[in-house]
Amino acid sequence: MKKTLYTIIFALTAVSASAQLKKAAHGVEYQIFPAQPGRKLALNDVITFQAVQKTDKDSVLFSTYKQGQPVKAQIKTSSNPADLMDIFQLMSVNDSAFVKVPVDSIFKGHETEMPAIFTKGGNVFFNIKILKAQTLEEAMDERNAAMAKLKAEAEKLKLAEAENLNKYIAANKLVPVTTASGLKYVIKTAGNKPKPLNGDTVYVNYTGRTLDGKVFDSSIEADAKAGGLQQPGRTYEPISFALGSGRVIPGWDEGLLLLNEGSKATFLIPSKLAYGERGAGQDIQPYSPLIFDVELVKVVRVKHTPVTKATKKKATTRKRTTTRKKN
Q: Please give the average per-residue pLDDT across 299-322, as a whole number.
A: 65
Residue 325 has pLDDT above 50, yes or no: no
| Whether 43 contacts 75, CB under 8 Å | yes
| CA distances for 127 relative to 1, 99, 294, 304, angstroms | 18, 6, 58, 65
Output 140 or 326, whichever has higher pLDDT: 140
pLDDT confidence tier of residue 326, bands split at 50, 70 and 90: very low
Cα separation of 96 and 280, whole Å?
41
Q: Given this model, what pLDDT does residue 141 score?
A: 92
Q: Coil, strand, or helix at residue 192?
A: coil
**Average confidence score pLDDT of the chain:** 89
Cα separation of 61 and 278, whole Å?
31
Burial of 35 (0-12, 13-18, 19+ CB in 10 A): middle
How many whole angstroms from its chain centre is CA 111?
35
- For residue 16, the tally of other CB atoms under 10 A from its CB is 12
Residue 104 has pLDDT above 90, yes or no: yes
What tens digit of pLDDT does each residue of 267-302 get? 999 999 999 989 998 899 999 999 999 999 999 999
Cα separation of 163 and 147, whole Å?
24
Residue 188 has pLDDT above 70, yes or no: yes
Cα separation of 181 and 253, whole Å?
12
Residue 321 has pLDDT above 80, yes or no: no
What tens digit of pLDDT does each residue of 242-256 get? 999 999 999 999 999
Pick from 89, 109, 108, 107: nearest CA to 99: 89
| Percent of the chain whose pLDDT exceeds 70 | 88
Residue 10 has pLDDT above 80, yes or no: no
Output 319 or 207, whichever has higher pLDDT: 207
pLDDT confidence tier of residue 306, bands split at 50, 70 and 90: confident
Least confident of 44-48, 115-119, 202-206, 210-214: 115-119
Q: Given this model, what pLDDT does residue 282 score?
A: 87
| Whether 181 contacts 253, CB under 8 Å | no
Q: Given this model, what pLDDT does residue 19 score?
A: 56
| Whether 265 contacts 255, CB under 8 Å | yes
pLDDT confidence tier of residue 304, bands split at 50, 70 and 90: confident
| Whether 122 contacts 103, CB under 8 Å | yes
Q: Given this model, what pLDDT does residue 308 score?
A: 64
Q: Given this model, what pLDDT does residue 311 score?
A: 53
Output 310 or 8, whichever has higher pLDDT: 310
Pick from 43, 58, 45, 57: nearest CA to 6: 58
Q: Coil, strand, or helix at residue 182?
A: coil
Residue 309 has pLDDT above 70, yes or no: no
Q: Please give the average per-residue pLDDT across 174-198, as a whole number.
A: 97
